[in-house]
Amino acid sequence: MRIATWNINSVTARLPKLLEWLEGAKPDVLCLQELKVATDAFPYDAVRELGYETEAHGTGRWNGVAIISKVGFADVVRGLPNQPGYQADDALLPELEPRAIAATCGPVRVWSVYVPNGREVGHAHYRYKLDWLATLRQDIAEDAAAERPFAVLGDYNVAPTDEDVFDLAAFEGQTHVTPLERQALADLRAAGLTDVVPRPLKYDRPYTYWDYRQLAFPKNRGMRIDLVYGNAAFAAAVSDSYVDREARKGKGTSDHAPVVVDLDL
């Protein structure tokens, strides 16, 4: 069974790339993030022609998540059950953003997550990010402890270690690498999850994100922030994993690459 995750950075803008990748990589399950479309505007028909069904959760703004599956769906959950809202300075009430969706696909249960960016250390969005990660740990605890293979896949917006950024000095004082963010990831793993994409892979420093600016991709000035955290049953079934750098090449691509995990179930 092949399971993958990809921050698509607008499913509308990247639809040709998405369809091309699905035909080539042939995942059984694909978790998507940053759809930038409302739930009813997802291109369901286009992916259905390739044999996939989709469960999506979006509002048409900057967020949005989905799961695409060839092996069916059961027990779909949209949003973290105890999800915190983000309250911007000019907002009267907190907003519950579409950042998580879960489903059982065949023998595996997955969450597709798009963790808040955090913006700046000390910003309200940074505190929201930490609260969101703490809630994620709470809400996945039962699935993580189960015997059924289970994984949380997505754009975590945190580089777990210093080796997961091209130059730590370039991120000094910024989000994505702070001790509090990394501790939140460690707390999540302590709930019974393992990073199932090891380092090194088939090349050194398997980054998953490269900025569009300043030739970041050709210079490999990237970050590893798209992660696959699986429980014991999931991790034991992993037979291979890779970051598909080819999908990041060329024009009109997402600024993230897909992360692919093969399971022997």
**Do the beta carbons of residue 17 and residue 6 sit within 8 Å?**
no
Farthest-apart Cα atoms in the chain, separation = 50
Residue of 155, 156, 207, 209 marked catalytic: 155
Burial level of 109, CB count in 10 A (0-12/13-18/19+)? buried
Could you give the C-alpha distances from 199 to 71, 118, 179, 206, in angstroms and in order? 29, 26, 21, 7
- Phi, psi at 197, each rounded to 5°: -105, 100
For the chain, the distance separating the N- and C-terminal CA atoms, rounded to the nearest angstrom, is: 7
Active-site residue flag, 256: yes
**Interatomic CA distance for residues 212 and 217, integer angstroms:** 7
Catalytic residue among 114, 207, 209, 229: 114
Q: Which residues are annotated as a binding site for Mg(2+)?
A: 7, 34, 155, 157, 255-256
Q: Which of the following is catalytic: 57, 143, 156, 256?
A: 256
Catalytic residues: 114, 155, 256
